[in-house]
């Protein structure tokens, strides 16, 4: 397996217990995690005391945070923004306490379907501008993820957001599976967003049914994206977001050596996702 130091992941997909999460990361020799769920609580809801307890456990297990996997921007634009902005400020404090400059976030849902009005777009941009200004004050970097259903879910709307607001404190997470689930060509998306990409989610999916599959087994062109990134000097994080609990073809993989000897449950699927990434890194000869 090729070694890449900056592999991370949503380890809450292993188990809700933070101790179990860290034990598995240690077993896989993964040094980072993208913190989202901690002992069954979302990172944004942790108290200051709980954050310090988490920091102590990170030190105990030798694990660092690659990014805060926050839910910021995952509300409808019809909802009041002021309380959400207070949550955002708390998340910024958490990031600083845990020693990461990155905060994963989103660009809001709305009541409508796939079409967004000019007025809704302006509201999205106004809210993002407010958060970016605060991020600049606090010295953190917001990472916009192309989540299905938000304003910035399609390639063209991600490009729109980045051309309008992209800066040192507002960059892009590239998630191949999310683009596939929106019916998007990931090569087109990447080729037009690569100058803004600061962080990678390692997740793949199939056009035929939208199911998430191990990296390299879907239509996300993960190997192409990673090869292009590395050839252009990328030194950022590769964050595993397996989402394989809903992968209907998982059982079939037990017929080959992909699943042989792997533990069942979250640890097994997380390990499978990690191995699939390592296979791609070897394939592209990184």
List pLDDT tens digits, range 87-119: 999 999 999 999 999 999 999 999 988 899 999
Query: According to the model, what pLDDT value does residue 239 have?
Result: 98
Q: Is the pLDDT of residue 226 over 60?
A: yes
Q: Which domains does the chain have, with CATH numbers?
A: 7-283 (3.20.20.150)
Query: According to the model, what pLDDT value does residue 112 have?
Result: 86
Q: What sign has the CA pseudo-torsion 92, 95, 99, 103?
A: negative
Query: According to the model, what pLDDT value does residue 113 have?
Result: 84
**Total length of the chain:** 286
pTM of structure: 0.93
Helix boundaries (H) for 62-138: 81-98, 118-138
Residue with tokens 């967003």: 193
Which tens digit of pLDDT belongs to each residue from 246-273?
A: 444 444 443 344 445 545 568 999 999 9
C-alpha neighbours within 13 Å on the C-beta side of residue 272? 34
Task: With beta carbons less than 8 A apart as the criterion, state whether 189 and 155 touch.
Answer: yes
Mean pLDDT rounded to a whole number for the chain: 92
Task: Quickly count helices (H) and strands (E) in the chain.
Answer: 10, 12
CA proximity to 115, closest of 149, 77, 140: 149
Of residues 189 and 256, the one with the higher pLDDT is: 189
CA proximity to 11, closest of 1, 20, 21: 21
Of residues 69 and 3, the one with the higher pLDDT is: 69
Q: Is the pLDDT of residue 138 over 70?
A: yes
What is the Cα gyration radius of the chain?
A: 18
Q: Is the pLDDT of residue 235 over 60?
A: yes
Task: With beta carbons less than 8 A apart as the criterion, state whether 190 and 231 touch.
Answer: no
């Amino acid at each position: 397996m090729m070694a890449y130091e900056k592999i991370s992941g949503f380890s809450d997909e292993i188990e809700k217990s933070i101790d179990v999460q860290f034990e598995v990361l240690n077993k896989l020799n993964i040094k980072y995690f993208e913190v989202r769920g901690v002992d069954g609580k979302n990172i944004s809801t942790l108290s200051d005391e709980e954050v310090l307890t988490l920091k102590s456990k990170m030190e105990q297990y030798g694990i660092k945070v690659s990014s805060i996997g926050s839910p910021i921007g995952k509300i409808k634009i019809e909802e009041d923004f002021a309380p959400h902005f207070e949550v955002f400020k708390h998340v910024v404090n958490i990031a600083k306490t845990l020693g990461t400059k990155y905060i994963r976030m989103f660009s809001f849902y709305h009541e409508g379907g796939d079409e967004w009005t000019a007025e809704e777009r302006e509201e999205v941009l106004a809210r993002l501008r407010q958060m970016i200004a605060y991020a600049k004050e606090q010295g953190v970097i917001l990472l916009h993820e192309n989540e299905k259903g938000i304003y910035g879910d399609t390639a063209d709307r991600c490009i729109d957001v980045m051309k309008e607001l992209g800066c040192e404190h507002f960059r892009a997470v590239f998630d191949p599976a999310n683009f596939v689930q929106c019916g998007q060509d990931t090569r087109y998306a990447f080729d037009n967003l690569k100058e803004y990409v600061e962080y990678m989610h390692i997740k793949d999916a199939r056009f035929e049914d939208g199911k998430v599959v191990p990296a390299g087994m879907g239509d996300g062109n993960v190997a192409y994206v990673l090869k292009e990134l590395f050839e252009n000097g990328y030194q950022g994080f590769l964050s595993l977001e397996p989402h394989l609990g809903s992968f209907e073809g998982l059982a079939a993989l037990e017929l080959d050596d992909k699943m042989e000897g792997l533990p069942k449950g979250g640890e097994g699927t997380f390990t499978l996702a990690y191995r699939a990434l390592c296979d791609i890194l070897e394939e592209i000869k990184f």
